[in-house]
């Protein structure tokens, strides 16, 4: 099958505190969408990361160029002259490592380099936390992390469940799950979501890639997976 959408890796189950100790790491402020910021739980694709390093390519956050990328199959050559003139111009000016061109043919090389299985939002203002979490409803699982249980806990957990938001409580060095987040099921892969992933990757790079071996949620140090599969995942259709 021709792959047009970027690779999207999403967990089949709710993200749990134990996952942050054994599978993934986080980047503080790495989730940015609709004017809101949260910490991003990062699942790195090491093969694509290495390829980008070799090509001297970092994060690609240009939304217009990402739209062009999503219109081209991965690793399948098409005639450049058959594309719209604007797309041809953007492809010709794209950074090395995004496309490969040879004898009038172009193929897309880039795919998403990270998945963001969840975003975490830390604070104690319940209304603010739920409001901020709403901004990320279309991109990943959402978890609020609190230092103390809110007043009227049962009512708050009911509100969070209606919104599909998980609730964790920090207990010293541990994170205690009060409510599991709703599993995120993406229906369409849009350029804005790809840019969300690229921004998370950019934040990870700014940290020097340290969160590949160590991350933090609300001050807690966690470890990512010891190994992340290089196997390509199935893509999502655009229509």
Mean pLDDT in each 10-residue stretch from start to end of the chain (239 residues)?
Answer: 53 89 89 94 94 96 96 94 96 96 95 95 94 95 94 95 96 91 87 95 86 38 27 27
User: With contact defined as beta carbons under 8 Å apart, do 66 and 191 qualify?
Assistant: yes
In the chain, DSSP assigns E strands to: 25-33, 36-44, 78-79, 99-102, 105-108, 114-122, 141-146, 165-171, 174-179, 215-217, 220-222
pLDDT of amino acid 48: 96
> Measuring CA to CA, how many Å separate 151 from each of 19, 124, 154?
28, 11, 9
Domain boundaries defined on the chain: 17-45+113-191+196-222, 46-111
Beta strands across the sheet bearing 165-171: 25-33, 36-44, 114-122, 141-146, 165-171, 174-179
- Which pLDDT score is estimated for 105? 96
pLDDT of residue 10: 82
CB half-sphere exposure, 54, CA atoms < 13 A = 8
Q: What are phi and psi of 9, to 5 degrees?
A: -110, 115
Give the contacts of 217 (CB within 8 A, at least 6 positions apart).
Answer: 20, 26, 39, 120, 122, 145, 175
pLDDT of residue 220: 36
> Quick one: pLDDT at residue 173?
82
pLDDT at position 37: 95
At 102 the pLDDT is 92
| Lookup result for tokens 């990870």 | 204
Would you state the pLDDT for residue 228? 24
């Amino acid at each position: 099958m021709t792959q047009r959408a970027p690779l999207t890796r999403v967990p089949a189950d709710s993200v749990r505190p134990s996952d942050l100790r054994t599978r993934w790491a986080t980047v503080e402020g790495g989730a940015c969408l609709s004017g809101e910021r949260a910490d991003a739980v990062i699942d790195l694709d090491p093969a694509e990361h290495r390829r980008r390093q070799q090509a001297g390519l970092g994060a690609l956050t240009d939304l217009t160029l990402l739209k062009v990328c999503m219109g081209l199959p991965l690793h399948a050559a098409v005639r450049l002259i058959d594309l719209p003139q604007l797309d041809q111009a953007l492809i010709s000016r794209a950074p090395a490592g995004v496309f490969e061109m040879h004898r009038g043919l172009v193929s897309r090389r880039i795919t998403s380099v990270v998945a963001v299985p969840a975003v975490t939002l830390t604070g104690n203002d319940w209304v603010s936390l739920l409001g901020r979490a709403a901004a990320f409803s279309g991109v990943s699982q959402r978890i609020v992390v609190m230092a103390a249980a809110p007043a009227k806990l049962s009512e708050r957990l009911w509100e969070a469940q209606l919104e599909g938001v998980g609730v964790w409580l920090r207990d010293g060095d541990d994170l205690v799950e009060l409510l599991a987040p709703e599993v995120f099921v993406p229906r369409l892969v849009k350029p804005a979501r790809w840019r969300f992933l690229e921004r998370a990757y950019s934040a990870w790079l700014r940290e020097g890639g340290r969160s590949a071996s160590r991350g933090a949620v609300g001050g807690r140090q966690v470890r990512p997976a010891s190994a992340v599969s290089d196997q390509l995942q199935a893509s999502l259709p655009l229509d």
